[in-house]
Amino acid sequence: MTNNTDLRTLLCPFCNEVITFELSLEMIRKRLSGGLATIQLSSHGNPPHSLLVYIDEEGKIRGVYPKIEEIKQKVNLRFNYITDASCEISPEEGAVLGVEVLPYYVVIDGKERKAYNQDIFFAEVFELLNSDSSIGSDPVPVDAFVNAYHKLNNDKPIIVLTMSQKYSEGLT
């Protein structure tokens, strides 16, 4: 990437729309914090959502996460959905979408536990991974799933989507 502005494209992980945006090293440098620059792209799609794009100092995209805009009417789904925070949907966005989002825990230096996507977010985890900190994860507690099941509409089937153990082991 040169100092000039480059056109970049990416596929929205939420709606699969191809998004084009401008990016320059100067833009990255101005927004750099903890090894990553955060850029919020404009709203698109249905339901309306924007994208938070995390870019490293070399211009490589390190993460793309949808951010659901405020929706006046809750989405009515045919199923009950439960997922963990690895899906990158915040609990607030999940409530709008009709998805119960349960936090898993990021463990820092074997002591401090923070709920992912509530107390700690992608950029902070990335920063910790680039530091001398030891990062691990704890799964969603079983009682969180039990409580989530009790809150569901019993007239709808339940779909549970979680991070696989094999993928999760990469964090420890």
pLDDT, tens only, 55-110: 988 888 988 888 877 655 566 678 888 988 888 777 877 877 788 999 888 999 99
CA distance 41 to 129: 25
CB 83 within 8 A of CB 99: yes
- How many domains, the chain? 2
> Are residues 86 and 167 located together in one domain of the fold?
yes
CA distance 89 to 128: 21
CA distance 171 to 11: 25
Preceding peptide of 157 cis, ω within 30°:
no
Q: Which domain holds residue 36?
A: 6-68
Q: Which of the listed residues 68, 89, 118 is the one where a domain comes to its end? A: 68
CA distance 28 to 60: 10
> Are residues 50 and 114 located together in one domain of the fold?
no
Q: What is the pTM of this model?
A: 0.59
> Are residues 15 and 64 located together in one domain of the fold?
yes
> Are residues 58 and 96 located together in one domain of the fold?
no
> Are residues 102 and 164 located together in one domain of the fold?
yes
CB 87 within 8 A of CB 161: yes
Of 111-115, 126-130, 133-137, the poorest mean pLDDT is in: 126-130
> Are residues 97 and 137 located together in one domain of the fold?
yes
Q: Which of the listed residues 20, 37, 68 is the one where a domain comes to its end? A: 68
